[in-house]
Structure 1
Amino acid sequence: MIESVSDREVVSSGAVWEPLVGYSRAVRVGSWISVAGTTAAGPDGAPVGGDDVAEQTREAIRRIEAALAQVGAGLGDVVRTRMFVTDITRWEEVGRAHGEFLADIRPASSMVQVSALIDPRLLVEVEADAVLG
């Protein structure tokens, strides 16, 4: 669902906690688009990909791509990504999955270890910023 408030477009993933927490999957203001931290959490809470951190990364990026499409953008417009991982020793698995989608685009990127995500089964969360034009 896209909601437009003047020059601000808001994309919702439909998650019940979006209004509770007060966030959107993505926000576009002018040519700038920010996509919120995205995980592989399935409808039942279990992550798509199980404990495969690379598959969780792929799923998060696919969801980011879908959110970007709702505001007229794509992965080719991404200028920055941030990856939050619960086990930095698995950085290469996450990095290779990221590269499957973004190697030719090569956005500025960060990967940091965090102590936990909202569900202990989630191993990675990805954010993205994109610019049109």
Structure 2
Amino acid sequence: MTEIIETDDAAAAVGAYSQAVSTDSLVFTAGQIPFTPDGESKADVSIAEQTELVLDNLESVLNEAGCELGDVVKTTIFLADIGDFDEMNETYADYFDEEPPARSAVQAGALPKGVGVEIEAIAEK
């Protein structure tokens, strides 16, 4: 059985998708982008600041599902420019400093709304 996860503490879904879907043992988040919970884009700030907002959104969605960042087992990171990897990674490491999850990071052809980073996660309940 699946449960749709929604919270007002993160950027709302802007299409035909849910912020996250939970099963009995796992939570699958949608890709989070650097938008504030009230829908303001932060695509014009540094990648470090974008990554921070993305991870704050991710944490809010996970919290709504009864999880925290420490429960994340896998993330996928999409960058508009792989040259931003080091800056993103420095901020990411502040959130996942001990026993970080498995991770993939790729350059995407383009990201929604002109943002520089998008991150999705899988967490274990």
Structure-2 change in CA distance of 1:55 and 1:9 (3 Å): same
2:124 equivalent to 1:131: yes
2: CA distance, partners of 1:36 / 1:89: 24
Structure-2 change in CA distance of 1:71 and 1:16 (3 Å): closer
Gaps of 5+ in 2: none
Map residues 1-133 of structure 1 onto 2, 5 A cutoff.
7-13=1-7, 15=12, 17-18=14-15, 21=16, 23-42=17-36, 43=38, 45-47=40-42, 50-120=44-114, 122-132=115-125
TM-score by length of 1: 0.83
TM-score by length of 2: 0.87
Shift in Å, 1:88? 0.5
RMSD, aligned α-carbons:
1.7
Shift in Å, 1:17? 3.0
Shift in Å, 1:12? 2.4
Gaps of 5+ in 1: 1-6
Structure-2 change in CA distance of 1:24 and 1:44 (3 Å): closer
Shift in Å, 1:44? 5.1
Q: Give the conservation status (yes or no) of the 8 Å contact 1:27–1:33.
A: yes
Q: Percent of aligned positions with the same letter in both sequences? A: 31
Aligned counterpart, 1:3: none
Instruction: Please state whether the residue corresponding to 1:57 is helix, strand or coil.
Output: helix
When Rg is computed on C-alpha atoms for both structures, the one with the higher figure is: 1
Deviations 1:28-59 (A, max 9, x none): 100100111000124454217x3301111111
